[in-house]
Amino acid sequence: MKPNDFEELPKFQRLQYLFSNHIRNPENAPYSVENEPVLAEIAQDIDPKRLKAYESLFFNNLYEFFSNLFPVLKSIVGEERWQEIVREYMVKHRSKTPLFHELGQEFILFLQNEFEPQSGDPDYMLELAHYEWVELALTIAEEEGFVNPLDVAPELDGVYELSPVAYPLAYEWPVHKMTLENSDEPKPECITTLLAFRDEMDQVQFMELSPVLYELVQAMSDNSEQATVRTLLRCLCEDLGLEQTMIEDFAVSILKDLIAMHLIRPVSLNWSNRNGHFNERQ
C-alpha cells in the first residue's frame, strides 16, 4: 500500500492494516501506534507476549493446513524451507476467498505468480503442489458423479460427456510417483497423463492414462459441439498421425471401461446421479 493510500484510510482500517501487516511479516513490519498520533487516540500498543501469540496462531494454522495438504512437497523441500515458503505466502499473497478449504487453490496461485524459487527448490514444485491439491478439490467438489445403468453399451457413433468429478491431468513430471527418495531424478522425456476422479464410494482415485487415451478423454471433456467418438478419433488421429482403424477397436474397449466406472455417459440421456433412474432428454 502506498503511504498516501494509507493516510486516506479511516482510523480503524489503518489500525487493522498495521496489525495484519505485522502478523504476515513480523520481522519487517513492526506493530506500533506510538508514531501514529491519530491511531493512539483509539488504541494502545499490544503487549509483546500477546502479539507473539497472535503471530504464532495465524502462522501455525496456515502451516498445519498446507503441511497436511502438500505432505510430499513439504517432505522434499524440508522443514526449514517449508516454513520459509509458508511465510512468503503470508507476506506476498492476498487471498480472494474467505473460505479456509479454498486456501489450497490460493497457494497454487501464489506459486504461479508470486513465489520466488531458490536455487535448491525443485523445478516441479508447482506441478506437485497442483497434483496434491486435486485430491482436496475433488473431495469437496459440489458436483455429483454419474451412475450408469447396466445396459449402456459403447458406441463409436455415440456422444459422451465426462463426469464433472473427473479431471484429466497432464504434467511434465511424474508427480504421482514423486517421493523424497526419487526427488532428484532428471526430468523425463514423456509427459505424465492422469485421470483423477471421485468414485461411487466418494473416494478420490488416480488412474494413469496413455497419451492417446488422455487426448480422447480431454476431447470428450471439451466436446461443446457434441461430436461423436468416431469424429473425435478422426481429429485425434489427424493430429497425431495415426491410422483411425487401428485404434477404433481399442476405443470401444476403453469406452466400455469408462462407462462401467461411471466416468462417462451418453449425452442423450439424463438420469439421477445417485439412484440410477434415467429419462431421455427432450
Element (H, E) at 8: helix 3-8
Q: How far apart are CA 255 and CA 282, in angstroms?
A: 25
- Choose between 50 and 62: higher pLDDT: 62
- Choose between 131 and 60: higher pLDDT: 131
Q: How far apart are CA 262 and CA 16, in angstroms?
A: 50
> In the prediction, which pLDDT does 92 show?
92
Please determine, for residue 281, whether its predicted confidence score (pLDDT) is greater than 60: no
* Mean pLDDT calculated for residue range 136-160: 92
Please determine, for residue 40, whether its predicted confidence score (pLDDT) is greater than 60: no
* Mean pLDDT calculated for residue range 178-188: 92
* Mean pLDDT calculated for residue range 26-50: 63
Q: How far apart are CA 168 and CA 92, in angstroms?
A: 31
Strand pairing report for 204-208 and 192-198: antiparallel
* Mean pLDDT calculated for residue range 122-139: 96
> In the prediction, which pLDDT does 5 show?
61
- Residue type at 227 in one-letter notation: A
Report for 16-30, 89-103, 196-210: range of highest mean pLDDT: 196-210
* Mean pLDDT calculated for residue range 269-281: 41
pTM of the model: 0.83
Percent of the chain with pLDDT over 90: 58
> In the prediction, which pLDDT does 42 show?
52
Neighbours of 232 (CB within 10 A): 21
